[in-house]
Amino acid sequence: MPQTLAQKLVARAAGRATVTPGEIVICRVDLAMFHDSSGPRRLKPMLERLGAKLWDPARIVLVTDHYVTGEDAESRAIVGLAREWAKAQNIRNFHDGVGICHIVLAENGYLRPGMFAVGADSHSPTGGAFGVYMFGIGATEMLGVVVTGEIWLRVPETMLIEWDGRFGDAVCAKDVMLYLCGRFGLDGGGYQAVEYAGSAVAALPMQERMTLANMTAELGGQTGLVAPDAVTRAYLAEAGVRESEIEITPWQTDAGAPLAAHHVFDATALAPQVAAPHSPANALPVGEFGDVAIDVAYVGACTGAKLEDLRMAARVLKGRHVARGVTLMVAPASRKDEAVARREGLLATLEDAGARLLPNACGLCAGYGERFAPEAKVISTTARNFRGRMGAASTEVFLASPYTVAASALIGRIADPRAVLQ
């Protein structure tokens, strides 16, 4: 019976040979992740009221990344609680202020093909880039997981999205996801597993695949998946995962597997995309925004400040300086990526261009700490631009790739990076 990658992953977690879309199954959880905002401050009181204990502290990963900049007493208390709780519960997989949770999970080798994982954050589908069935859940669902190690799931249908050919210069995964949000809308994924495939996707490095899986949340999918391959294996080996723990052969969609939809796109035809305020679904080719002046350019978040993203921005800005009146802000997604970017000279390039470095945290993307000024026009690498999320209701945030954000900072208005790089 042909099965999709999503069906295979769910079947393994459910202890079944096969599953059928629409079935309700109970799945064993291999890994549960939460952060300072979604974790101890919500779970601790519920666990205490129940008198319940954690099912397996070794399968829990806790990351502080939302409140770590600690601008006020409440933020410092939330982070302090996370630290105390991690120690009290013997959470050894505790990462304190070293980056955004989705990036920290990947770079520490927690995610391996075939796993079933949950995260208390809406962008948890990021794990699907590694052939992991991973999705976001709320605090009450996470309570059930950390006590029992299980969660129920309705087996999803699969939407297969293939990109043939190769993406053009200065076109990247962020452009893909903005295009898909514009094409299908924020509910286009409709509680489905969205699998990304095709020669253009196969050519992407892991961090670009992570952007695809991550922004499946914006597309409305339950999880985003990329079948693991040699690129996956090489990344995980570098992250310290043993060869024996990296199994890629079984985790592919079978020919003839049932699909809810199958879309094929020409990668060579995709232009850089920009999403206008106040939705990722307001995406159009960058050329539609040529007269829009900007005040701020922001390179940050799990969709836009990984090492690959910093390389993109630095490539555009090398030997140049941002336009007068434009503020360029850069918040590397993790301490590790920042260190590599420093060694490669990327941060020096960005700083020489006028960038101000910010901490390795969710920060502005999640609306914590510093916020954009009222009425400011911002172009950002974040995944979302909802009204009031990163600034006042009057703040206008446009979404784009690191290439386009950097080019726009250079020109002082929304600009096509291809023109800058000619």
Cα angle: 380, vertex 387, 401; to 5 degrees: 20
**Do 24 and 172 reside in the same domain of the chain?**
yes
**Do 281 and 396 reside in the same domain of the chain?**
yes
Distance CA 10, CA 156 (A): 9
pLDDT at 224: 98
- When pLDDT is averaged across residues 264-281 and rounded to a whole number, the result is 98
Q: Which residues fall within 8 angstroms of residue 369, CB to CB, at 6 or more apart? A: 69, 71, 75, 361, 363
pLDDT at 290: 80
| Full strand arrangement of the beta sheet holding 94-96 | 94-96, 60-64, 31-35, 116-119, 133-136
Q: Which of 266, 281, 315 is the last residue of a domain?
A: 266
- Closest alpha carbon to 104 in 113, 94, 112, 117: 94
- When pLDDT is averaged across residues 215-236 and rounded to a whole number, the result is 98
pLDDT at 288: 96
The phi and psi torsions of 341 (rounded to 5 degrees) equal -60, -35
Structure tokens at 336: 């590790």
| Spatial contact of 153 and 10, defined as CB atoms under 8 Å apart | yes
The phi and psi torsions of 270 (rounded to 5 degrees) equal -80, 125
Q: Note the pLDDT tens digit of each residue in 53-79.
A: 999 999 999 999 999 988 889 999 999
**Do 306 and 372 reside in the same domain of the chain?**
yes
**Do 185 and 90 reside in the same domain of the chain?**
yes
**Which domain covers residue 133, as residue numbers?**
5-266
pLDDT at 366: 84
Q: Note the pLDDT tens digit of each residue in 199-223.
A: 999 999 999 999 999 999 999 999 9
**Do 86 and 153 reside in the same domain of the chain?**
yes
What average pLDDT does the structure give for the chain?
Answer: 97
**Do 213 and 290 reside in the same domain of the chain?**
no
- When pLDDT is averaged across residues 94-106 and rounded to a whole number, the result is 98
- Closest alpha carbon to 262 in 171, 157, 179: 157
Distance CA 78, CA 90 (A): 18
**Do 104 and 224 reside in the same domain of the chain?**
yes
Q: Which amino acid is at 82?
A: A
**Do 292 and 226 reside in the same domain of the chain?**
no
pLDDT at 245: 93
**Do 220 and 286 reside in the same domain of the chain?**
no
**Do 355 and 308 reside in the same domain of the chain?**
yes
Number of domains comprising the chain? 2
pLDDT at 327: 98
Name the pLDDT band for 398 (thresholds 50, 70, 90): very high
Q: Does the pLDDT of residue 369 top 80, yes or no?
A: no
**Do 86 and 186 reside in the same domain of the chain?**
yes
- When pLDDT is averaged across residues 83-111 and rounded to a whole number, the result is 98
Name the pLDDT band for 6 (thresholds 50, 70, 90): very high
Q: Note the pLDDT tens digit of each residue in 128-137.
A: 999 999 999 9
Q: Does the pLDDT of residue 49 top 80, yes or no?
A: yes
Q: Which of 250, 266, 282 is the last residue of a domain?
A: 266
Among positive and negative, which fits the CA dihedral 41, 389, 327, 176? Answer: positive
Given the structure tokens 């060869």, which residue do they identify?
A: 243
- Closest alpha carbon to 57 in 103, 94, 27, 83: 94
Q: Does the pLDDT of residue 421 top 80, yes or no?
A: yes
Cα angle: 109, vertex 115, 116; to 5 degrees: 120
**139-148 and 40-50 helices, crossing angle to 10°:** 60
Distance CA 35, CA 273 (A): 31
Q: Which of 243, 266, 289 is the last residue of a domain?
A: 266
**Do 223 and 293 reside in the same domain of the chain?**
no
- Closest alpha carbon to 140 in 33, 31, 47, 13: 47
Residue 334: which CATH number? 3.30.499.10
